[in-house]
Structures are given as structure tokens and as C-alpha cells.
Structure 1
């Protein structure tokens, strides 16, 4: 009711009842509740009467710090994607934020993307997130200091096209003027961000989420992996996330290619797929699969031995 009266003062009791899907008695009770909360609702009778807030009344701004505002907005975005709340809740929060912070928070919301499923994760440095959100929405270039995965510190001009949350990490995709290519940067590796008086035009139809997912699937880890899976393409896509690797239809099944830093983990992933497979490369992965098979066989044999002894004891007891 308060939302309606702020947007359209002078609504009559029947009009409010219809909008709120309640009866007239409930509308009057709502008006009394608002008055008890210190919100001055005035009811006027007559042809031009209706409910309205006293002239000059406005809700005070919600005084949140930048960190608090980003945490609240991100939590509501995740909750909305999971069906716990609706976008209306976020709109209400934004409406009562101070104007400058509201603009920055809206910029983050409009340029933020999630890979499915969304989940709670700790946001990066709030200043970085707000700066990148503003830059992506206004198409404004930034200068960042960035630490690569090798530990090298560099400075580069960057055109951010969007911010993406994937698997608990935060990334930005955009044009890196140092390399002259579209790159993905991790926000937790950014040391500083400075806005520049230079504007850019993002490529038509560019999808930051798709770019981040595809880029992570080709991260230059130590080993190149190629495995033939004896299942259909649709089934393989349900079992293997796009960020893990690339799936290609093959006459004998699906060709799975990726890069991996640890082959023991790759062996466990393949064993967990629940399908037959053939390792094409590397040879070291075949060795890891065989080693895992032997460990599982020993574990299974140990379990059979324990069960067998238990059955023998039960049988002896019956005699």
C-alpha cells in the first residue's frame, strides 16, 4: 500500500482494495498500521477524496555502506534466480538507497551475469565491482593493474563488457588493449582500477557469460586430454559442465577434449561419468586410470572379505 501511495497519491479505498486484492476493511487496517509505524497516511472523503501521504513526506534513504549495499543486492539477485524472492524486493531496496549509490548498484545489477546454477559467494573488492559495473554500463574504458596466474604484475587498458560470477569466482570479460584481444580477467587479481575519459563500443551480440565459460575450458594447464566417451552427446553434456572441456560428436560416441593440471583428478572425473571410455591421450592419464581401478578393486575386495567373514560367523552361530 505504501508503494502504491508513493507512486499514485489519492487512490480511493476501492481502488486500493482492487490493486491489493483485499477488501475495504483490510485497506483501512493497513492505513492504521502505517500510521502506527509513523507514516502519515491521510484519508480524505468526498468526490476527490482518497488516501494519500501528507505533503512533503518521503521515505528516508537506506543508509548502507558500499560493501553492505553490494552484499544485499548480490544476495537478492541469487535468491531471485533460485526462486526464493522476486525482482520486486530488489527494486524496493534500490529505491531507498542514496541516489549516487543507487546508480552504481543498478549498474552492477545490469551488467552482472551468472553461470547456472547461481550460488552464494563472497563478492570481490566492492570498489572494483562498482567501478567495473559503471564502466560496463557506460562503455567507459578503465586502466587496471593485474597479476597474472604466473604472478606477473602488469598495467593494461581494458574495455569491460560485463561481469560474470562462475563457481564462486568473479570475472570480467572485455577487450584487453595490452594483448589486443578479448580476455577474461579475475576480479581478485585486479590491484587497482582507474576510469579513463575514453569510451568504447562493445561488439554486437557479445555474451560475457559464454565467453568466460569457453575461456575457462581452454585454460593452459599442463596436460592436453582427449578421451572418447561411449555415450550420446546430449547425455555427455548433462554430465560434463561446459567449463570443464569441449564435447564433439563422434561416430563411436563423444570426443571429450580439455586441459588438466592434475591427471589423478581427471581419472576420478572419468570414472564418475558412469560410462565406458577410451583414453586417446596422454599416456600418463591411462596410467592414472589403471591406478585408480586397482585402488577401487582392492577396496572392493576388502569389503567382500569383511562381508564374507561376517556371513561365516553368522552361519557358525546358527549351528
Structure 2
């Protein structure tokens, strides 16, 4: 902000975020001299905001301890940024328990200038997302997310109740290595002491969670996102698939997400490994890649690819109006939960 009033507000924001700042540091951050900083501090005092200036080696400017700051003030640009973030969180399932996101949006809408609120409402009503919308029951409890976040930061072991995809419940001790939001769901990954290995858990299936006193160390180089996507690609499904793709690894990765399959470079191309519930869905995926491929296993996938090719040939040979288009086709593989 170049206007003096804007820099006065910037000074207030700096003092809110720091316990104490020297005049030299404030001058540097605001782009002014120390004399101007003193003038800005006096302006805040005149407005009833208790800014104190301490002299000496450990001196500097600070807000009086215990002072309750006024309500949050947002510029129009900041309000738009916050609202768009809330809209995305609501649509993609990034938020926690309902109706927190909706009520937060309503509160901001109420204090916006009428013209800006109307324009934002128009954007919100006509904004589309290419990512799928999360299921309502996939939202984690707010307390669960915050407790896991704190335990992950401070490296504290957790004790939690967990409900598996089959409905069974168990008590776990978990060293949380990281939180991941993927495809509309929240996950935590870390060392599970019950299984004795790194496992991945859905937050919406976690019940009671209690932080403990034991600490842990995250393995060097551990990547929570990579671990979660590998876990999702490796859940137990009906068919183990191996296909050799005649392309390079970089090209394959642009078309095949890590949550769908594991890709490995070989002398003859790229080896695709996956576990799927329905082979017809994998046949459709392979046909849409546009590269030659060899099905290594299972034999049923070869039959599924051949059947899909026959359907495509049949559809390509049709002529006439829209009534000749197929109204349905094989469904893509359906996913299951993890642990």
C-alpha cells in the first residue's frame, strides 16, 4: 500500500503478527524511515490502539499485552480471495464438518458492499469445477483434523479409534507423518503400531483421537503425498494387472495418475501395475491412451480389451441420428476404502 493510511494499517498488521519489532525493522518492511514509523505509531495511539515503544537493547514497538484487537478488516481483493477459497473448499470437500464453510461464507457476504456482494454471488452461482465433488459424509470432524495437524507438527504419537471399509472398528497407535487431501477425501499416513508398518487412514473414518506423550522421527525423505497415492493404487481389488506400455515414463505419467497405477521404466517401455475391481474399466483406460501396449496379465484383461475393440468397431460403423449412439457402456472401476 502506498497511501499513508494503508501503511498505518500495515504497521498494525505487523504488530499483530509479531511480539515486538524494532523501529529499523518496521521502517524496512514499510519502506519508510524510522521517523515516519514513530509518526504512524502515534496515529495508532490517537485511534485508541495501545502501541508502546520501549527503549534500550531489547526495545521496540509492540501492542500492549492482553489488548483485544478490533474485528478483522479485509480489502475488497482480500474478501474475494477468501470467499473464492471457501467456495472451492465447499465444492471439493476440503472443509470439515458442515455447516462451518457455509456459515463462514454467509458472514463475509453480510459485511461486503452490496455491489461487490452481488458480483461475487454471480461468480459463485456459475462457477464450475473439473475435479469431482466430494461426498458429504467424507468430511472429517474439525477436532480430528486439528488434533492430527498438531500431532504431526509436534511429532506426537496418537491413539485413535478407526472404522475400516468393511465396518469393523479397531484401536490404533499412530505416528502421523503427514496429512493429504486427495480426490475429495482427507487422509493421514504414518507408522501404524498395530500393523507394524506405514499405513494410510481416511479421516472421516477416525473416531476418538487422543494425543500421547511419546515422540517419533519421520523417516528421511518421506513423501506423504506419494505414500497416499501409492496406498490408493495398491488397495486389494479383484484383479492384479500388468501391462507394458510402448512410451516413455514422463509421457505415461502425464496420462496415468499415480492413484490409478504404478509406473516403472523397463528396457522395452513402461510397466504399468495396478489392482482393479473391473477389467472393462482398465480396458477403456488403455484404449484411450493412444499408445501400443501388451497385456502381460491377467488373461481376462485381453478379453476385455478385445470386447471393447469390438464395441468401438460396432459404434464406428453406425450411421444416422443421435438414436444410434449407445446409451450406456461399461462402468469404470469402483473404488473401496483403505484399511
Residue 6 of structure 1 and its aligned partner are, at CA, apart by: 4.9
User: Measured at CA, do residues 73 and 169 of structure 1 come closer, stay the same or move farther in structure 2, by a change above 3 Å?
Assistant: farther
Under a length normalisation based on structure 2, what TM-score does the superposition of the two structures give? 0.59
Choose from 294, 305, 309 the match for 2:310. 294
Counterpart contact for 1:226–1:256, Cα < 8 Å: yes
Counterpart position of 1:19: 31
User: 1:268-298 CA distances to partner (integer Å, 9 max, x unpaired)?
Assistant: 1111111121211111111211221122112
Match of 1:314 in 2: none
- Report SS of the residue matched to 2:31: helix
Match of 1:4 in 2: 11
- Cα distance per residue 1:83-136 (max 9 Å; x no partner): xxxxxxxxxxxxxxxxxxxxxxxxxxxxxxxxxx99986742111101111111
Unaligned runs of 5+ in 2: 1-6, 16-20, 51-60, 73-81, 90-129, 323-339
Is 1:145–1:192's contact at 8 Å kept on the other side of the alignment? yes
- Paired residues in the alignment total 240
Rounded Cα–Cα distance in structure 2 between residues aligned with 1:163 and 1:74: 23
Selected match of 2:157 from 141, 147, 157: 141
Q: Match for residue 113 of structure 2?
A: none
Q: What is the 5 A alignment of 1:1-319? A: 1=7, 2-7=9-14, 19=31, 40=48, 58-60=68-70, 75=85, 123-303=139-319
- Taking the aligned partners of 2:83 and 2:196, their CA distance within structure 1 comes to 34
2-structure distance, mates of 1:200, 1:17: 38
Question: Which consecutive residues of structure 1, in runs of 5 or more, have no partner in the other structure?
Answer: 43-51, 63-71, 80-116, 308-319
Query: What is the TM-score when the length of structure 1 is the normalising length?
Result: 0.63
Q: Distance in 1 between matches of 2:84 and 2:219?
A: 27
**3-state SS in 1 of match to 2:218:** coil
Greater mean alpha carbon deviation, residues 245-254 or residues 273-282: 245-254
Going from structure 1 to structure 2, the CA distance change for 1:157 and 1:74 (only over 3 Å counts) comes to farther
Q: CA deviation at 1:16?
A: 9.7
- Superposed CA RMSD: 4.1
Instruction: Choose 1 or 2 for highest CA Rg.
Output: 1
Query: Would the aligned equivalents of 1:5 and 1:11 in 2 still touch at CA under 8 Å?
Result: no
Question: Structure 1 pair 148/73, CA: closer, same or farther in 2 (3 Å)?
Answer: farther
